[in-house]
Amino acid sequence: MSEEKLTREELIKKAEKPGRDAMILHPYYRGKVQVTAKCVVRNMDDFAIWYTPGVAKPCLAIKEDPLAVFEHTNKGNFVAVVSDGTRVLGLGDIGPEAALPVMEGKALLFKYLGGVDAFPICVDTKDPDELIDFVLKLQPSFGGVNLEDISQPKCFYILDELRKRAHIPIWHDDQQGTAAVTVAGLINAVKLVNKKLSEIKIAMVGAGAANIRIAHQLFLAGVKPENIIMVDSKGTLHTEREDAEILATKYKEKWELAQITNPQKIRGGIPEAMKDADVLIALSKPGPGVIEPEWIKLMAKDPIVFTCANPVPEIYPWDAKAAGAKIVATGRSDFPNQVNNSLGFPGIFRGALDVRAKTITDEMCLAAAQELAKVAEDNGLREDYIIPTMEEWEVFPREAVAVALKAIEQGVARVKRTREELMKMAEDTIRNARETVQLLMREKLIPPAPKTE
C-alpha cells in the first residue's frame, strides 16, 4: 500500500516500527561492529611476520620516519568516534554507556558506506578540556576523529581547540556533517521552486550546534546573513534581547549570529520567524507538534520545509504537505528526502583519509555538499528527491573525490593524487567493505536476522 493511501494512524505506526525492531535486533546481535583481519593467515608461521619477531622491522622504520606509519599500519583508515553522551540524538544527556549503541551505529555506517574502519569510544568525562586532551592523545593511532553527540556550548570550544591543535582531521558530525547535507538538499530544493540561495529568506528553528554550523555553511554557499531569522527556546535571535549579555558572555556562537542575522530585530517565536520565509530549517526538539501546520501557511509561496529533529521530526511530513509545503525533508530514512549526516561523513572522511589530510576545512564540507547536490541533479530532481539516498552507492566515492581534490587545492593534503586515482581508491575500498559484509551474511558468519513484526 502506498503512503498516500495510508491513514495518519497507520503512517505514525509505520514511523514507530524502526524503534520496535531495534529492541529485537540489538540484543540479538549484541552490537553492530567487530574487528576482523585484513591480512592473510596461511598458517601459524605467519604470526612471526605480523607479530614478533618480524614486526620489529616496521616499528623501527616508523621510528626513523613517523609518516611511514601510514604505509605499515591501518592508521590511515582508522577513525575514532568519540562521545561523552551529553546530547545523544533527541535523547539528551543519557551518559556514555547509553550513547554506545549510537556510536556503534555510526561505526557501521562509516564502514559500509565509506569503507572506513571506525571505533566507537564513549568517554566518561563531561569536562571539555579533559575530552580535548583525550582526543589529542589518540592521534598516534587514528587518521581522524569524529566527535559525536556532545552538548553545546562546549562542543564549539572542543571542536575549535582540536582543529587548532591536532594534526589529523577532527570533525564534529552534529555540526559539520549536518551542515554539509542540509546545504546539499537546499541547493536542489531552491532550484525546484525557481528561487536563488542569494535571495531566499530562511527561518531556522533551534540554535544548537547543528543550526549554528548550518548557518555558516549557508553563508559560504551564498545565503545572505540578513535573510535569516534564528529561533531558540527563548524566541527570535537579535541583539536587543533581554538576555543579550548572557548570550555575549556564555554563548558567543549565538551572539555572533545575533549580530549579523535578523537586522529588523523581529520579536516573537517560531511563527513570527516563519512569516514570509521561503525556507524553514528546524533542528530543535523531537515532535510532532513543535511546528504547527498553521505556521507553514504563513510562509512565502512554495515553501521548503526541512524538519530534521531525531528520532521524530518537528512536524510529520504528511501534515506539512497538507499545510501547503512544496518540498519537505526530514532526517529519517523511512520518509522521502532524508537530510541525514549518513550521506556526508562516510564520503567526506573517505576523501580526507585518501589524501592523508591534516584537517577538514569548511570549504571541503561545501565541496561535499555541492557534489551531493550534483549527484541528485544528475539522476533527475523531483519534489520527493532533492538529495541522493544511501542506496545510491556512487554518492560516496564521488563525494570523497570532491573532498580530496579540495584538500589538495587548499594545501592540507599530505599526498597528492589525480581524480582518476582517487576515484579508483574510493570505489575499491567501499566495494570491498560492502562485499565483505555480504559474504559474511551469505556464509551465515553473520547470522540471519530474526523476524520482526
The pLDDT of residue 223? 98
Per-residue pLDDT of the chain (453 residues; tens, 9 = 90+): 445 577 878 878 887 888 899 999 999 999 999 999 999 999 999 999 999 999 999 999 999 999 999 999 999 999 999 999 999 977 889 999 999 999 999 999 999 999 999 999 999 999 999 999 999 999 999 999 999 999 988 999 999 999 999 999 999 998 999 999 999 999 999 999 999 999 999 999 999 989 999 999 999 999 999 999 999 999 999 999 999 999 999 999 999 999 999 999 999 999 999 999 999 999 998 889 999 999 999 999 999 999 999 888 999 999 999 999 999 999 988 889 999 899 999 999 999 999 999 999 999 999 999 999 999 999 999 999 999 999 999 999 999 999 999 999 999 999 999 999 999 999 999 999 999 999 999 999 999 999 887
Q: Bridge partners of 279? A: 202, 304
Q: Are the CB atoms for 353 and 150 separated by under 8 Å?
A: no
Cell of 127: 569536562
Chain-centre distance for alpha carbon 267: 31
Residue 338 per-residue DSSP state = B
Cell of 126: 563531561
Q: Are the CB atoms for 154 and 125 separated by under 8 Å?
A: no
Calculate the alpha carbon distances from 172 to 72, 110, 309 in Å: 28, 14, 17
Q: Are the CB atoms for 146 and 251 separated by under 8 Å?
A: no
Q: Which of 106, 111, 154, 406 is catalytic?
A: 106
Residue 315 per-residue DSSP state = S
Q: Are the CB atoms for 100 and 122 separated by under 8 Å?
A: yes
- Kindly list the structural domains of the chain, giving each domain's residue range(s) and its CATH number in brackets, ordered by start: 194-325 (3.40.50.720)
The pLDDT of residue 1? 42
Q: Bridge partners of 281? A: 204, 306
Known active-site residue 106: yes
Strands 235-236, 228-232: pairing is antiparallel
The pLDDT of residue 403? 98
Q: Are the CB atoms for 331 and 300 separated by under 8 Å?
A: no
Which tens digits make up the pLDDT trace of 205-241? 999 989 999 999 999 999 999 999 999 999 999 999 9
Known active-site residue 164: no
Give me the sign of the Cα torsion angle 169, 174, 175, 178: positive
Of the candidates 314, 346, 311, 343, the residue with the CA atom closest to the CA atom of residue 101: 311
The pLDDT of residue 13? 83
Q: Which of 14, 17, 28, 51 is catalytic?
A: 51
Q: Are the CB atoms for 302 and 276 separated by under 8 Å?
A: no
Q: Are the CB atoms for 141 and 78 separated by under 8 Å?
A: yes
Mean pLDDT taken over the chain = 95
